[in-house]
């Protein structure tokens, strides 16, 4: 059996487009079971995976093996609580797009995404987009959020992808790296990719006038080659970010500013809920840790399936 190695550059859920090192492209299917740590996912193979496939014609094949992933971003659909979706694998960093209006990105969505990325130490840069339509109040909020996330350790950018487009900045962010572009629907992910290279010619659509929400225009994850090196991955907008089950004891490790202060808690096994001598709660009360980040932490603790001790 002759197997070829390639990179999954597009995934539709049933078909996978695989690109070999020599540029050859094959449309592949999977047969057999692929699982990670016993987790059932809706897409066992994901964009960014390196696979071995068995050609069954010059441009089709069957995926037989997935190479071990360096990292991946996985989410649980909040409604179908046992369904997992691997958004992408083997990425160098994420550009997480967020908007303060049309649509609004909830901060807890950002925080949950950050936790998923932190669990693999994947760097995330937050891009607040659509500043051209922000009100004065939005700009105050933008500064506040940027300060909070910067203090936690995340690079933050604010920009408009339709007015005074900062092409150099965007190209600098994606050059030579494997970049996952993520965020809720309508925040401008595909718009950003089309700025990197108009040749990608990705479909974009207006957000719904009535609901002020995106229309889920991008339906499949797809990886595009960057001329100056690297790849950018466009993904469908995510509705809600359910985290996979984590141990309660590890969740705070994924909030960098909470983790940093936790060593001052009285008890080594403090979960920063209502334990006496909790330095995290003191820092929240003193305004050193932002209350909404702490609220996100508690909410993630609440829906984590593992038991409280
Ligand atoms: N005013 C304004 N509109 C923008 C900006 N960036 C993108 N848009 C618009 O927002 C709408 C949605 O953009 P898309 O790029 O399709 O959004 P997306 O994140 O790819 O959405 P999905 O594929 O549905 O997840 C389009 O009408 C864009 O023109 C911006 O900076 N300012
Ligand atoms: Mg899109
Ligand atoms: Zn504590």
Domain interval for residue 62: 4-66
Q: Which ligand ends up closest to the CA of 216?
A: 1
The Cα–Cα gap between 75 and 285 comes to: 31
Contact of 81 with 122, CB cutoff 8 Å: no
111 and 180 share one domain: yes
User: Cα–Cα–Cα angle for 266, 270, 276, nearest 5°?
Assistant: 50
CB atoms within 10 A of CB 307: 7
102 CA distance to ligand 1 middle (Å): 9
For ligand 1, mutation pick of 162, 219, 233 (most atoms within 8 Å of CB): 162
Q: What is the pLDDT along the chain (309 residues), one digit of tens a residue?
A: 789 999 999 998 789 999 999 999 999 999 876 665 556 677 789 999 999 999 999 999 999 999 999 999 999 876 656 678 899 999 999 999 999 999 999 999 999 999 999 999 999 999 999 999 999 999 999 999 999 999 999 999 999 999 999 999 999 999 999 999 999 999 999 999 999 999 999 999 998 887 888 988 998 999 999 999 999 999 999 988 888 888 899 999 999 999 999 999 999 999 999 999 999 999 999 999 999 999 999 999 988 754 443
pTM of the model: 0.94
The Cα–Cα gap between 66 and 77 comes to: 23
Alpha carbon of residue 254 to chain centroid: 14
Q: Cβ contacts of residue 158 below 8 Å, gap of 6+?
A: 127, 128, 129, 131, 142, 146
In a domain, 16, yes or no: yes
Pocket of ligand 1 (CB under 6 A): 129-130, 132-133, 160-162, 183, 185-191, 204-207, 214-218, 236-237
31 CA distance to ligand 1 middle (Å): 37
10 and 91 share one domain: no
In a domain, 239, yes or no: no
87 and 195 share one domain: yes
215 and 88 share one domain: yes
163 and 189 share one domain: yes
279 and 165 share one domain: no
Cβ neighbourhood burial of 219 (10 Å; 0-12, 13-18, 19+): exposed
Q: For residue 11, give the nearest of 285, 308, 221, 265 by alpha carbon.
A: 221
In a domain, 240, yes or no: no
**For position 282, which CATH number holds?**
1.10.40.50
167 and 298 share one domain: no
């Amino acid at each position: 059996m002759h197997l070829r190695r390639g990179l999954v550059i597009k995934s539709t859920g049933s078909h996978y487009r695989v690109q070999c090192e020599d540029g050859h492209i094959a449309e592949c299917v999977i047969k057999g079971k692929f699982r990670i740590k016993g987790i059932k996912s809706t897409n066992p193979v994901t964009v960014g995976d390196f696979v071995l496939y068995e050609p069954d014609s010059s441009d089709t094949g069957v995926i037989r093996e997935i190479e071990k992933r360096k990292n991946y971003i996985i989410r649980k659909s909040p409604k179908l609580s046992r369904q997992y979706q691997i958004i992408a694998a083997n990425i160098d960093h994420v550009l997480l797009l967020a908007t303060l209006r049309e649509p609004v990105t909830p901060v807890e969505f950002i925080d949950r995404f950050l936790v998923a990325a932190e669990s693999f130490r994947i760097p995330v840069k937050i891009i607040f987009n659509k500043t051209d339509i922000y009100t004065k109040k939005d700009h105050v909020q933008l500064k506040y959020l940027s300060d909070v996330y910067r203090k936690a350790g995340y690079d933050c950018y604010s920009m408009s992808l339709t007015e005074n487009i900062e092409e150099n900045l965007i190209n600098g962010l994606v050059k030579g790296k494997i970049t996952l572009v993520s965020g809720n629907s309508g925040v401008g992910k595909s718009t950003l990719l089309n700025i990197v290279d108009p040749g990608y010619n990705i479909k974009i659509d207006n957000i719904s006038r009535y609901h002020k929400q995106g229309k889920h225009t991008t339906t499949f994850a797809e990886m595009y080659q960057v001329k100056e090196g690297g790849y950018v991955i466009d993904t469908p907008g995510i509705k809600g970010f359910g985290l996979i089950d984590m141990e309660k004891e590890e969740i705070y490790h994924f909030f960098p500013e909470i983790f940093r202060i936790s060593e001052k808690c009285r008890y080594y096994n403090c979960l920063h809920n209502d334990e006496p001598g909790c330095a995290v709660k003191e820092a929240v009360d003193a305004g050193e840790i932002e209350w909404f980040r702490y609220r996100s932490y508690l909410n993630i603790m609440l829906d984590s399936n593992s038991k409280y001790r």
